[in-house]
Structure 1
Amino acid sequence: MNPIPNSRLVIDHWSLVIVSLFIALSVLYGATIPIFETPDANGHYAYIHELTEGRGLPVQGTPSGERVAGYVASHPPLYYALCAALTFWNDEDVDRQDWAWRNPYHAMGYPGSVANKNYLIHTPAERFPWHGTPLTMHIARLVSTVLGLIAVVATYGIALELFPDRRWLALGAASLTAFNPMFIFIAARVSNDAAVAAFGSLVVWGAVRLAVRGLSRWGLALTGAALGLATLSKLSGLTLAPALALALLFDTLRTWRQHPQVSPCRRSRLVIGHWSLVILTALAVSGWWFVRNQYLYGELMGTHAWLSHTATVRPEPIGFFEVIPQLQGLEMSYWAMFGWFNVAVAPWMYRFWWALVRLAMVGLVVLVLMDQWGRLSSLPPRQARKPAPRTAGLVTLAVAFLLVFGSVWRFIMIVLGSQGRYLAPVIAAISIFLMLGLSRLVPRRWTPGLAVFLGGASLALALISLFVFILPAYATPEVVQESDLPEEMKRFDLTFEGTPIQLLGGSIEADIVHPGEPAPVSLYWRALEQPQKDLVAFVQVLGRDFEPIAGVDCYPGRGTFPPTLWQPGLIYRDRYALPLAADAQSPAIAALHAGLRSQGGDQRAATLPSGEPAPDLILLDLVPLRPVEPLSADVAFPVGARLDEAITLVGYDLSPFAIRHSPFLTITLVWRAEEVPDADYTVFVHLVDQGGALVAQADHPPLEGAYRTSFWAPGDVVRDPYRLAVDAGQPQGLPLLPCDCTLLVGMYDPRTGDRRPAYDGLGARFENDAIVAGGVTLQ
């Protein structure tokens, strides 16, 4: 029979460390993340409040269903009843409006948003010591933490059930559950996901033990009850029922083989008793919920009522294979996607988890193809057909995962969005398979080191997720002193019409910015007296032709700090990281533009400290916008002349030209900066005939002022086009054709008219400081 060694839940100092750290992290997450900044938190809270008010379970299509906010009213009640039982004594009415202050620009479901991560505007009423609604929320979060702890312990227990002689494998699997940043987030928020994770893990634990060695009557009853509790937590808990049925089937086969001396009739009664005990206890716990659904909605599951109140239902289900592109979001959000699916972590963290999963998959393939094949090939044919106890447990575990994963796949076909939290019922299975696959790729003696590495890395990533990404998303602007303002920042002290709000100035906090990369920006606000209106800030970075290449509209503080919360006289530093458009034309000058407007309204006019009206377009700061890769300096017509020591005219390109088709000639000059020019120069491009008469000309700053020379840096290559009208100024409108002309190029200071000294490649100075670039024949 190849029996598996007897197993028991071994509690040692390492398992206690994992449990303690999980509790500490969950409490830390729960205490520091603002309330209602988790998916559907408003609906989950409203469900709890409905119960604490004594109004019973919400019903879709009635006022109670509307109060609970959409589809949440269709959820089974277990989690909410637990929370209500612990918070019914708390008076929540005193501050109901404080949590109803919505951010009108909330970026729900957009992880790339640079602001507006917050669903609500958070006030001092939420600060510790908590009372009213915040107290209810934090108590409910602690309920989630306890439920999350059950899932962590179950992960450890399932792994020991399968591998009682590999304690470090079990510890590694438990740490992958305990220190998964997203699971900590689940265990620190108000949501029924923690409940289905807890009771789903208990169902899987019972099913695996049943498949491996069998259960006592009490064990069978408790496993059936766990299935009922998982179903009463979230309907996805019922998805585990077939996995439990498979475990019962393994138990049936084992019972039939282990008792050949017992009559078939008695063995049948024993098997039927096992099945009946599980089914009846599950129905005793959760059956009433299906009866209620049938009575209220005419269906056992209540799914149609749920879908009819879900705003994200697809107009038409997508195809089976169309789900595949959605799996990336599912995997990312299994590890880390916070807020209302809009707070992501660093790409390198996702790459780490991606590699972890792929390596584990390789290890599992090796395990199945090599280890199991080797075992089966070494056994007699009849014995090889009998599933080993551990194999039965692993198959049960895999089926549980596949059932939930398949239900999530189907869910994505029907509903927009793919969130990793939907896999919560089988987080234990996922962690065990990850650890099992990874451990197969290293020598067995390295398993303790692997477990410590995975636990330590996961713990570090959980802390990074909280302190580097989650909390900064909801941080209000820091208060600074006048002496803290950047010395190089130009002061404007703009006061906006109808408000006491001043914008002292702003800066792009980088010497250079590039297309496709974030531009760090700071604005400095001050209220002269208490604002009475919550105006919206607009922050833009402008590129060529003053076209916006980045921008956001939000309350100051990236959406967290409306002006009515400000304290008069304080200066607030408002920081942003605005991603510049990847197709922004460069080189150019990036200009910072900001101000205030009413919600959905026009820009508020501003006045200068002198009392004069400020221009509509005020450029608070200017920095070079340079291409990520330097432009090519290849030219068709090389020149190699210099303007003093600062600028080289590398050469030029000439567009095909036939005057009979068009009177315009396009010449693209290619400059290279050798030093930083000391002024903003204007370029002159003259086309003269053999007699020195001017045939055509163009005078303007490089790139028509879009990239002035004072912003150039050594190594900059600037491709600078000029359009010459060759018929301009001619008595007959056109020059006598064909016409051999000379191209003269140079720069001058527009303030004085003085030309920049021009030299050829040998150091000889050009006459009139006009570079003789070459000849051009007009025909």
Structure 2
Amino acid sequence: MPAPKKISIHWKQHQSLGIILILGIIHGLLYVYLVPPWQHYDEPSQLEYAWLIADTDNHPKPGDYNQAMRREAAASMIEHDFFSGLDFVPNLLPADAPAWIGISQISDAPLYFQIVSLPLRLIHGSDITFQFYISRMVSLVLFLVSIIAGYGVIKEITPDKHPLRWMVPITLALLPSYVDLMTAVNNDVGATAFFSLFLWGSVTMIQRGFSWPRFLWIGVAAIVCGSTKNTVMIAYALVLIPVLFGIFRDSRQMIAWSILIVAGIGLLLAIYPWGQAANWVNPKLDTFINKIAYIKPSLVITSIRDWENTNWYYQSTLVNLGRTFWAKFGWGHVSLIGSKPYRLLGITTLLGVAGALGKIIRHWKHQPCVLILLFGAAMAAIWGAALTRGLGSIYTDKVFIPAARYAYPAIIPTVILLNSGWLEITQQINHRLHIPRKYILAAYVGCFLGLDILSAVSIMLFYASI
């Protein structure tokens, strides 16, 4: 078959993905330049980490810094009004003390920063703000990777022309806070992109069966996740699910379920041995889990037992997770304008979850239980860790309320859940109304575009006022 014809066939098969990727590029570029430099979580110190790798061609150690780079970065932060409204401006004059650009990130896993450092090596002598924007472009590429992974996952589990095949990647491309975070200089970008690739490989193995190339795919993806950020180290544990159900298929699935149940009981007994101190949590495992995931099982149990005094934390965190999932920007300090927009987004979220759960309950016998297990475990682990990440601060003077960036690695199963629920509700309504599909598509995209416009206007007005 001639090459042009092959390309034509391939384009027709994945035309929707191509269009959505173009949409994602446009939307991503908007956020690259719409949000002023340094106005994302830890961007100054995250860039410093990548810059030091490019500068020294080596992995920096905690305490390492380059004073010239810090001065230039701090000067750029001042130039772009980073310190507007704050009670201090860094002093750029002392030569014997590092200029302040935020808390150092050098103790974090290195992979994302090594990737960002690659183009910085080629432009190392250029203006620091230019290097900063190039680094955001690297994140933009990883954002597109996550969209491709989302399309790959949903393509594996749905038939041709199923609405979720365009709903899921469009949501990824148009979700304002997600695009905002995924075009920032931040290792959450790498964690999200690489965990998305891990999920894609896992779903592929579950659907098609075990093979050594697929095992290599998910194995390498899990290692890459662990080398990027502790929020996605759960990939090491989740590997067991696709491997077991890739090997034991069809009538032999009960073997895989039995192994998982035994492993689960063993894990629970290891973490919660009865009679153990510290709320019956194994102290060594408690410390280990806290080290890799910023969560102590013993502290979670204590907070639940002391619900009267800790419920405010869970309520505040759930609200913030919801708002930052949809449309809250910068360092979590830029909100949507308008009259209670988050109330409508909250209702939209609840409808999606309720619709999806209703569908699962009504059609339980026909549900893909293994996929529900994989997605449910990923969401429970990642969203659960995000929810409890700030528990250790509630007894201090400065309480930390986590944002959805810690939960974005589970964006694909989350978006599948929400879209499945919205689709179920829409189909139930449409059984009576018989609305043409093209109008439903237009309404769906229109709602997201409306939210995107509101988000862009909110960001512009906020930064124009400082």
**What do residues 47-91 of structure 1 show as CA deviations (whole Å, max 9, x unaligned)?**
012112106323335668988853522211111111111111324
1:395 aligns with 2:373: yes
Q: Name the aligned partner's letter for residue 53 of structure 2.
A: L
Task: Tell me by how many angstroms 1:215 deviates.
Answer: 3.9
Task: Tell me by how many angstroms 1:425 deviates.
Answer: 0.7
Which of these residues, 461, 474, 481, is aligned with residue 463 of structure 2? 474
Instruction: Name the SS for the 1:73 alignment partner.
Output: coil
- Cα–Cα, structure 1 residues 301 and 405, in superposed 2: closer, same or farther, change >3 Å? closer
Q: Could you tell me how far apart the structure 2 residues matched to 1:11 and 1:58 are?
A: 45
Q: Could you tell me how far apart the structure 1 residues matched to 2:201 and 2:245 are?
A: 13
Q: Name the aligned partner's letter for residue 37 of structure 2.
A: I
Which of these residues, 50, 57, 60, is aligned with residue 58 of structure 1? 60
Instruction: Name the SS for the 1:443 alignment partner.
Output: helix
- Cα–Cα, structure 1 residues 424 and 433, in superposed 2: closer, same or farther, change >3 Å? same
Q: Residue 235 of structure 2 aligns with which residue? A: 240
Q: Name the aligned partner's letter for residue 324 of structure 1.
A: Y
Which of these residues, 336, 343, 349, is aligned with residue 341 of structure 2? 349
Q: Residue 358 of structure 1 aligns with which residue? A: 350
Which residues of structure 2 form unaligned runs of 5+?
1-9, 68-97, 260-286, 394-399
Q: Name the aligned partner's letter for residue 153 of structure 1.
A: I
Instruction: Name the SS for the 2:334 alignment partner.
Output: coil
Q: Residue 180 of structure 1 aligns with which residue? A: 175
**Conserved? CA contact 2:49–2:106, under 8 Å:** yes
Q: Name the aligned partner's letter for residue 463 of structure 1.
A: I
- Looking at secondary structure, tell me which structure has more helix per residue: 2
Q: Residue 82 of structure 1 aligns with which residue? A: 115
| Larger RCO (alpha carbons 8 Å, 6+ apart) | 2
**Conserved? CA contact 1:401–1:426, under 8 Å:** yes
Task: Tell me by how many angstroms 1:35 deviates.
Answer: 0.8
**What do residues 174-209 of structure 1 show as CA deviations (whole Å, max 9, x unaligned)?**
111111101111122111111111111111111222
Q: Residue 406 of structure 1 aligns with which residue? A: 384
Q: Residue 458 of structure 1 aligns with which residue? A: 448
Q: Residue 280 of structure 2 aligns with which residue? A: none
Task: Tell me by how many angstroms 1:300 deviates.
Answer: 8.0
Task: Tell me by how many angstroms 1:418 deviates.
Answer: 1.6
Q: Residue 33 of structure 1 aligns with which residue? A: 35
Q: Could you tell me how far apart the structure 1 residues matched to 2:392 and 2:119 are?
A: 36
1:303 aligns with 2:291: yes
**Conserved? CA contact 1:46–1:69, under 8 Å:** no
CA RMSD of aligned residues (A): 3.3
Q: For 1:75-114, what aligned pairs fall within 5 Å after superposition?
A: 75-92=108-125
Q: Residue 318 of structure 2 aligns with which residue? A: 327
- Cα–Cα, structure 1 residues 86 and 452, in superposed 2: closer, same or farther, change >3 Å? same
- Cα–Cα, structure 1 residues 166 and 240, in superposed 2: closer, same or farther, change >3 Å? farther
**Conserved? CA contact 2:35–2:330, under 8 Å:** no
Instruction: Name the SS for the 1:74 alignment partner.
Output: coil
**What do residues 728-763 of structure 1 show as CA deviations (whole Å, max 9, x unaligned)?**
xxxxxxxxxxxxxxxxxxxxxxxxxxxxxxxxxxxx
- Looking at secondary structure, tell me which structure has more strand per residue: 1
**Conserved? CA contact 2:124–2:131, under 8 Å:** no
- TM-score, structure 2 normalization: 0.72
Q: For 1:281-680, what aligned pairs fall within 5 Å after superposition?
A: 303=291, 319-320=303-304, 322=311, 323-325=313-315, 326-346=317-337, 347-372=339-364, 375=366, 390-415=368-393, 416-443=400-427, 449-466=439-456, 468-475=457-464, 558-559=465-466
- Cα–Cα, structure 1 residues 348 and 454, in superposed 2: closer, same or farther, change >3 Å? farther
Q: For 1:11-50, what aligned pairs fall within 5 Å after superposition?
A: 11-50=13-52
Q: Could you tell me how far apart the structure 2 residues matched to 1:55 and 1:159 are?
A: 39
**Conserved? CA contact 1:168–1:448, under 8 Å:** no
The structure having more radius of gyration, on CA atoms, is 1
Task: Tell me by how many angstroms 1:149 deviates.
Answer: 0.7
**Conserved? CA contact 2:209–2:247, under 8 Å:** no
**Conserved? CA contact 1:199–1:230, under 8 Å:** yes
**Conserved? CA contact 1:203–1:223, under 8 Å:** yes
- TM-score, structure 1 normalization: 0.44
Q: Residue 160 of structure 1 aligns with which residue? A: 155
Q: Name the aligned partner's letter for residue 365 of structure 1.
A: L
Q: Could you tell me how far apart the structure 1 residues matched to 2:104 and 2:289 are?
A: 13
**What do residues 588-631 of structure 1 show as CA deviations (whole Å, max 9, x unaligned)?**
xxxxxxxxxxxxxxxxxxxxxxxxxxxxxxxxxxxxxxxxxxxx
Task: Tell me by how many angstroms 1:163 deviates.
Answer: 1.1
Which residues of structure 1 form unaligned runs of 5+?
1-7, 93-130, 259-263, 272-298, 308-312, 376-387, 476-557, 560-779
Number of residue equivalences? 373
Q: Could you tell me how far apart the structure 2 residues matched to 1:70 and 1:458 are?
A: 35
Q: Name the aligned partner's letter for residue 411 of structure 1.
A: R
